[in-house]
Amino acid sequence: MKFTVLLMGLVLRVGLFFLASMSLATEPIRLDSRRELFVDRHLIAELTNARLALHHPQAQEEAIRFDEPWEGNTSGYPTVMWDGEMFKMIYRGHRMIWDGGQLRMSHSPVVCYAESRDGIKWTKPHLRKFPLLGKMAKQVADPLDNNIVWPGSPYSGTFVPFLDPRPDCPASEKFKAVGGNRKTGLHLFTSPDAISWTKSEDAIFKQGALDSMNVVFWDPLATHYVLYFRTVVDGMRSVAMATSPDLRTWSKPVPLVYPSSPRQQMYTNGIQPYYRAPHLRVGFPTRYTARKMTDELRLLEPVKLRAELAAAYARVGSDLTDGLFMSSRDGVQFHRWDEAFHRPGLQAGVNSSNWMYGDHYQSYGLFETASSIPGAPNEISMLFSEGYWREGQTRLRRYTLRLDGFVSVQAPYSGGELITKPLIFTGEQLRMNVATSAAGSVRVEIQDASGKPIPGFTLVDSAEHVGDAIAHVVSWNGRDLSQIAGQPVRLRFVLRDADLYAFQFTAASP
């Protein structure tokens, strides 16, 4: 009898837990007018004969070449910022040499500045702020004729800036940066223009390895600063996060986690709020792959340089790097794609092969540029390093992606479906970022929370949408959505040979 009562009690508790879990699982997601991207399965209840597909940036022109005496074969770590009038780039000028079989610096890293009106053509202005020193000075007629904004120092190799949008941020501190290493800790730099910088006397953060692009940004939704920094977890190159209200007092660091993704070494992280949907954080980590030297690797161009570097420092000759994509809704748990966002590419000769350790580091900061197609929407631009270790060949190349175009729900010609979890929205129309083939299409049905089609917004009422647009307006025989706004609904997308990247509820077009 006692056992029966205990068993019944256990069954009751399990049942209540199951019901509570079901209730939580079906709790509507409040979107209001927020743009949503399909970078994860957060909004997806059902996916039938369709998949989440990772897209890849497309190569464009060379943006900048590191060919000045104060730059060199290991220059990089670029950050791009738009201040309303000009694109501003901060990067590291650096060179390594391996005379006598030893790998060492030819000069201390320096912080350099470049600018652009359109994000495509970049110039290095003659700033005359810091003179070249030592051997570098002997290579030029005027040691002040350069674009250096901070001289060689322990802070210059990992100097990463950001534009601070905090409402009460003083104009003199509009631009901020962190730089330093494990020994010095991170120091704060401030500037009114990204050219003249002032350094804090004391370190503001002293944890982690810090030997990489440690990034900081102001989160307007959480109203605090966020730091993502390079650390080591269980012997693996990793990333951790801390937050601060004032860039002085920091929360306890939390290592990032990647559910359903195997252990991989992350070097840079490139994490930032996605500017078109700031509740989402996107990251572009450099994946570090340690490999043993093999006969196959020895034949990867540049063959001679690889052999020289391997003799000076074995892992530089054999280890490889490429770029990944990941996203997060809480800043700690990331959906990381294990397949490369940016691959090394074709082996196209000594100076065109980018299969060296150090290639494919992505710039920090996504920025919009005009499309090369007249009348087409703007694109997202980003920069990737090429020609690492090759003197005179080290450079940044611009790559582009459609707006919101990191991941799509992709269905084949035979057709597929996506049904969302219950959502609550505001607005009068639904816009979607979508691309179909000439034979493809997308139809949209709006259902109530239980999955029953809402009269007037059924699949039969939906127009067959064909084309490729960033903000295509969905039509149901001219009906607007105001009558169902504010109540839980599900969206059912029926796709055929199509990619659905994002959607957003908005006010009616004027």
Question: How does pLDDT run across 153-196, given as a tens digit for each residue?
Answer: 999 999 999 999 999 999 999 999 999 999 999 999 999 999 99
Q: Any idea which of 5-19, 84-98, 331-345, 428-442 has the lowest mean pLDDT? A: 5-19
CATH number of 26-53+407-506: 2.60.120.260
Any idea which architecture 58-402 has in CATH? Answer: 5 Propeller (2.115)
Provide, rounded to the nearest whole percent, the portion of the chain with pLDDT above 70: 95
Question: How does pLDDT run across 262-305, given as a tens digit for each residue?
Answer: 999 998 999 999 999 999 999 999 999 999 999 999 999 999 99
DSSP-derived 3-state class of residue 276: coil
Select from 276, 261, 268, 282 the least CA-distant residue to 329. 282
Question: In the structure, what pLDDT confidence band is assigned to residue 17 with cuts at 50, 70 and 90?
Answer: very low
Question: How does pLDDT run across 217-252, given as a tens digit for each residue?
Answer: 999 999 999 999 999 988 899 999 999 999 999 999
**Over residues 317-329, mean pLDDT:** 97
Which DSSP symbol is given to 3? H
Q: Is the pLDDT of residue 333 over 80?
A: yes
What's CA 455's distance to the chain center, in Å? 41
Which DSSP symbol is given to 158? T
Residue written as token pair 């080591």: 232
Residue written as token pair 């000759």: 317
What's CA 262's distance to the chain center, in Å? 20
Q: Is the pLDDT of residue 8 over 70?
A: no
pLDDT computed for residue 26 by the predictor: 66
pTM, 2 dp: 0.93
* Number of helices and strands in the chain (H, E): 5, 36
Question: In the structure, what pLDDT confidence band is assigned to residue 11 with cuts at 50, 70 and 90?
Answer: very low
Question: How does pLDDT run across 395-405, given as a tens digit for each residue?
Answer: 999 999 999 99
Q: Average model confidence (pLDDT) for the chain? A: 93
pLDDT computed for residue 510 by the predictor: 66
Read off the tokens for 268.
């840079």
Residue written as token pair 């000075």: 137
Select from 219, 227, 224 the least CA-distant residue to 329. 219
Boundaries of every domain in the chain: 26-53+407-506, 58-402
**Is the separation of the CB atoms in 208 and 219 below 8 Å?**
no
Q: Which helix (H) or strand (E) holds 188?
A: strand 185-191
Peptide bond into 302 cis (omega under 30): yes
Handedness of CA 31, 32, 36, 38 (dihedral sign): positive
Q: Which helix (H) or strand (E) holds 324?
A: none
pLDDT computed for residue 22 by the predictor: 39
Read off the tokens for 394.
């080290």
